[in-house]
């Protein structure tokens, strides 16, 4: 009798503190920022910067930010990611075992692998849930999976799913989530992506991407450029929504004084006001699950900034989260052809 084992599916998201207490946020930041793919410095200098400066200065402030968006069920990122996992498991059926691993924090990638080992899967399909590739997010997640798998006695087959910044179903799901907000009275759609330091981008792309280009197009030279992929995602969304000139791209979440990829989201708000824009819709296509960056940075801080500048309307489009269309789109990525 032929015994078939389920196919393993591992979803990976960035991670979250276990609570919004300062001690848990400090622990999370230490793990996150000490990753050499996140802070690209020599080990001794990264240790000094992270342990003695950044974390001591930011832990309390970050804990206060998390407290503003913390839910009765816990971290929004975790609850949204778990909801995606549960609905995807139901969609894929009994022939698949779906797990969730966080690059930092819990549930860990090690725990997700252990769950798949217990289910005796022979193949694992891994999807870092970051639509656009960056070394700091996608690269770090894949590296951690491979490092943990290398310690297993039996190493199953593994398939790493590629970034899906131009995936047709992903773009359609995004466009469908944005469309109802554009049926209301609005002036402009701002697509805000997570930012990266320029130096990190230059290392990733080997100088193939012009970081000063106003709206870079994807080509063979910059196909691995995070910034170019973000602009490509935006153009595809705009095409689906039949938008003309009333949309733009910006990058959020920058830290420190070193240059990050531009344009900066907070500066764009002032420029839009100067152009006469008053009714703003914002979406965040680099996040598939609502989290600190969407709920606190955009829906609280950016919203307050917008109204302080003179804006009259501010609407944030929720991330795809566990919507049926998005879960069905994910399922097509994992199902065998």
Place of tokens 């307050």: 304
235 versus 4: the higher-pLDDT residue is 235
Domain map (residue ranges) of the chain: 7-164+324-334, 168-316
C-alpha dihedral sign at 11, 320, 175, 286: negative
Q: Supply the pLDDT for residue 218.
A: 87
For the chain, the average pLDDT equals 94
Matching fold, domains 7-164+324-334 and 168-316 = yes
- What is the separation, in whole angstroms, between the first and last Cα of the chain? 25
CATH 3.30.70.1380 fits 7-164+324-334, yes or no: no
Q: What's the fold here for domain 168-316?
A: Rossmann fold (3.40.50)
Q: Supply the pLDDT for residue 336.
A: 64
Q: Supply the pLDDT for residue 212.
A: 78
- State the average pLDDT over residues 63-76: 96
Q: Supply the pLDDT for residue 208.
A: 61
pTM value is 0.94
- What are the residues facing 12 on neighbouring strands? 101, 128
Q: Supply the pLDDT for residue 221.
A: 82
- Which DSSP category does 318 fall into? P
Strands ordered across the beta sheet of 123-128:
96-105, 7-16, 123-128, 157-160
pLDDT tens figures, 30-60:
999 999 999 998 999 999 999 999 999 999 9
Total length of the chain = 337
Which two three-digit tokens encode residue 330? 């994910």
To 10 degrees, the CA torsion angle through 129, 27, 200, 9? -20
Distance between CA 337 and CA 56 in Å, rounded? Answer: 50
Give percent above pLDDT 90 in the chain. Answer: 85
Q: Supply the pLDDT for residue 327.
A: 97
Q: Supply the pLDDT for residue 209.
A: 75
Query: Among residues 26, 13, 93, which one has the least CA distance to residue 62?
Result: 26
Cis peptide bond prior to 263, omega within 30° of 0: yes
pLDDT tens figures, 283-295:
999 999 999 999 9
pLDDT tens figures, 247-285:
999 999 988 788 999 999 999 999 999 999 999 999 999
């Amino acid at each position: 009798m032929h015994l078939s084992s389920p196919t393993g599916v591992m979803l990976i998201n960035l991670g979250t503190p276990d609570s919004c207490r300062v001690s848990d946020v400090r622990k999370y930041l230490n793990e996150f920022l000490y990753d050499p793919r996140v802070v690209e410095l020599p080990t001794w200098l990264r240790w000094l910067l992270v342990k003695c400066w950044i974390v001591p200065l930011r832990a309390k402030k970050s804990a206060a930010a998390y407290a503003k968006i913390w839910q009765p069920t816990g971290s929004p990122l975790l609850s949204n990611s778990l909801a995606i996992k549960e609905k995807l498991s139901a969609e894929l059926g009994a022939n698949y075992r779906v797990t969730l691993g966080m690059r930092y924090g819990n549930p860990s990638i090690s725990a997700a692998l252990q769950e798949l080992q217990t289910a005796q899967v022979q193949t694992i399909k891994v999807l870092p849930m970051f639509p656009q590739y960056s070394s700091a997010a996608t690269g770090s997640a894949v590296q951690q999976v491979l490092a943990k798998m290398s310690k297993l006695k039996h190493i199953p087959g593994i398939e790493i799913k590629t970034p899906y910044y131009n995936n047709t179903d992903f773009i359609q799901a995004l466009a469908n989530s944005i469309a109802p907000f554009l049926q209301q009275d609005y002036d402009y759609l701002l697509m805000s992506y997570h930012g990266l330091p320029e130096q990190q981008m230059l290392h990733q792309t080997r100088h193939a991407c012009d970081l000063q280009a106003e709206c870079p197009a994807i080509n063979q030279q910059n196909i691995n450029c995070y910034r170019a992929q973000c602009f490509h995602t935006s153009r595809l969304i705009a095409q689906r929504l039949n938008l003309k000139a009333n949309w733009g791209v910006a990058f959020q979440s920058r830290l420190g004084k070193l240059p990050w990829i531009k344009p900066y989201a907070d500066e764009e708000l002032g420029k839009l006001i100067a152009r006469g824009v008053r009714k703003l819709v914002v979406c965040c296509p680099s996040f598939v699950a609502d989290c600190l960056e969407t709920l606190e940075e955009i829906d609280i801080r950016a919203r307050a900034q917008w109204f302080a500048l003179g804006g009259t309307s501010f609407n944030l489009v929720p991330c795809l989260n566990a919507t049926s269309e998005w879960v069905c789109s994910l399922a097509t990525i994992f199902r065998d052809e």
